[in-house]
Structure 1
Amino acid sequence: MSKTYKTRLGMMLDHAELYVASVFFILMLAVVVFNVFLRFLFGQSILFTEEIAYLGFTWSTFAAVAWLYRTKALISVDIFFLLLPASLRRVLSVLMDITLILANLWFCRLAWVLASGGFLRKTPVLEIPYFWVNLAPLLAFGLMACYSVAHLIHGFTHPYVHDDEHDAEMYQDSSL
């Protein structure tokens, strides 16, 4: 394999959640817009577009949340964390990572219960088993549990270092 191919493949895998989210978001948007135009121009709509939009919304949301979680781009409040001494920050960080591992595994289990019961119930028009809709949270929470383990390992190998310049830049527009 060439180096460019490996780099391109690595980049695609690094953004896989975003690609999935984008495809399903575009699918959702396309069927909703198409249905709006049909209603406006012809006064009729297609029944199955709501089901496809629901499927697209679910998959795009959970795939995007998994990516946001992995990249630590979700909204968080660090002010109390930054007020603690460095030794307590490390302990708190480890405790939070362990808590998030357990929480994501619990949600993954609940999502499995939801998804496994989805074969019995089908969408009204297309008769798609709800398993395919409910598979999105299962995969998202499974990925977030794996990412929590990676965050925990990263926390041990790369401990948090306080950077006053970064903190000043981060809080310059805040009310603090």
Structure 2
Amino acid sequence: MSLESVLVEELKDLYSAESQLVKALPKMAKGASNPELKNLFTEHLEETKGQVDRLKQIFEQLGKRPAGKLCKGMEGLVEEGKEQLESDEEGATKDVCIAGAALRVEHYEIAGYTAAIAIARTLGQDEIVELLTETLNEEEEAGRKVLEQSQPLIEEASSEGEEEEEAPARRAKANGKHPTKRASR
């Protein structure tokens, strides 16, 4: 297999990954309860559509077709994200889980674009390097934004967890009862 063939396979993998993400991002936006996180996913959807178009442009330059390969890595990450969306978690805790899935997706894409850029650079495909670098920069920024948005959600989820743990004791106290410790056997 030639190095150009390896590049085409990498690009097909990225094309499949981005196409899967175009379908998954609206579900992530719908499943998130935090308005900023919803907005982040909606914005990234538009950016991802542009990335798909950029990949199509690269395939045209190479005289190749983008179809024919399923990115199994992204398929697995999307499935994990789907599990988070369907979980029983609620509120900030669920949003933290969804954001974690999104961050894994971004890092997967960053790795793929970094590899494709290295191959394209070695082949002297400067215009392709430029297009892929533009996408890589967007993916890195998206990852930074997800991480930035996650921190307040993590703190909120932590507060929610503390409230859930303290609720039985507060209810017992409100009813004039003292919470009892379980007898050890």
Shorter-chain TM-score bucket reads 0.3 to 0.5
Q: Which has the higher helix share?
A: 2
| Greater relative CO, 1 or 2 (CA 8 Å, sep 6+) | 2
Report the TM-score when normalising by structure 2.
0.36
